[in-house]
Amino acid sequence: MKEEIRTTDGAAPVGAYSQGLVVGDFVYTSGMGPLDPETGEIVGADVAEQTHQTMRNLGAVLAVHGLTFDDVIKSTVHLQNLKEDFAAYNEVYKSYFTQPYPVRTTVGSQLMNILVEIDFVAYKGR
């Protein structure tokens, strides 16, 4: 059984996908970028600013079910400029978590007008 997650506090989907799904004890988010939830515009001129907005969007989806970044167990991250932006992105990213950090895959990708996209798997069964 799947339950869709929708919130106006996070960026609205720009295609045929859900912001998130609850399946059993797990929450899966879509890949999210640095879009302002109210305007749909890209927030931030650099990867640090864009990562903060992306994390705020993801946090809003988690919050629908009372979850926080502490509940995230896995993330997948796409960076437009992997070599140039990894250090700045990583500093912002790790500021949202405590150890042990979620497992993570970070790859370079062609993204549409954004510098970062992130998705999560979170566990809500505690």
* pTM, two decimal places: 0.96
Q: What is the pLDDT of residue 52?
A: 98
**CA–CA dist 4, 126 (Å, integer):** 20
* pLDDT for residue 43: 97
φ/ψ of 120, rounded to 5, equals -125, 155
Cα separation, 33 vs 15, in Å, equals: 13
Q: What is the DSSP string of 30-60?
A: PPB-SB-TTT--B--SSHHHHHHHHHHHHHH
pLDDT at position 14 is 87
- The DSSP bridge pattern shows strands 72-79 and 103-108 to be parallel
pLDDT number for residue 24: 95
Please tell me the predicted confidence (pLDDT) of residue 19.
Answer: 97
Domains: count for the chain = 1
**Which ranges in 12-125 belong to alpha helices (H)?**
47-63, 82-94
Structural domain harbouring 74 = 2-123
Positions of the chain with pLDDT lower than 70, given as ranges: none
- In angstroms, what CA-CA distances link 68 with 15, 55, 83? 25, 11, 29
Task: List the CATH number of the domain containing 25.
Answer: 3.30.1330.40
